[in-house]
Amino acid sequence: MKIWKIDIKFSDGISDQLELYDNASIFKGYLTIKRSFFDELIKQIKENPKYITGKAINKILAPDRSDWTNNPWLLLLIKDVENQKPIWLLFKRERNLDGLLVAIGPKKFANYFNSSKESDKTIKKLLNYFIAYPSKWINLVLLPNFL
């Protein structure tokens, strides 16, 4: 699986690099996620204290090492409250306000979808689950630092 490298840097100086796995091979292309998902995400951010937002995406390198930083990115860092397992999702927003699910992580999560026969249906169900059951998740929604 090809790797996207995401450098995150918070305003307090804390930084890290995440490796997410390219969805072109996992889902046989980048999945389009409808604007309604992002509208519901914004609603949850406003209503739910377990949804935290911030600017922290400092740099994004594609698998071919090209710099994609100056694009409308959204990185969801999600943790299941019950079993504390992380889920990372990288979206590139489009002009029509839909989004492309470009990469996922960590590796264990990506491997699960890479081996699944209905991975596209399963990930879309999971996205709906994030919105429908917000108390089951802790969500950090990161935006680019250049905004």
46-63, pLDDT tens digit by residue?
998 888 999 999 999 999
pLDDT of amino acid 31: 92
Tell me the CA distances in angstroms from 57 to 10, 39, 130, 133, one per residue in order: 8, 21, 22, 26
3-40, pLDDT tens digit by residue?
999 999 998 989 999 999 999 988 888 999 999 999 99
CA proximity to 20, closest of 71, 70, 72, 78: 78
pLDDT of amino acid 33: 95
pLDDT of amino acid 113: 86
pLDDT of amino acid 36: 94
- Dihedral, CA atoms, 99, 109, 18, 54, nearest 10 degrees? 50
Burial 56-81 (b: 16+ CB within 10 A, else e): bbbebbeeeeeeeeeeebbbbbbeee
CB-based contact 13:20 (threshold 8 Å): no
Whole-angstrom Cα distance, residue 129 to residue 139? 13
Residue 8: enclosing H or E segment and its boundaries?
strand 3-9
Q: Read off the pTM.
A: 0.93
67-120, pLDDT tens digit by residue?
999 999 999 999 999 999 999 999 999 999 999 999 999 999 999 888 877 888
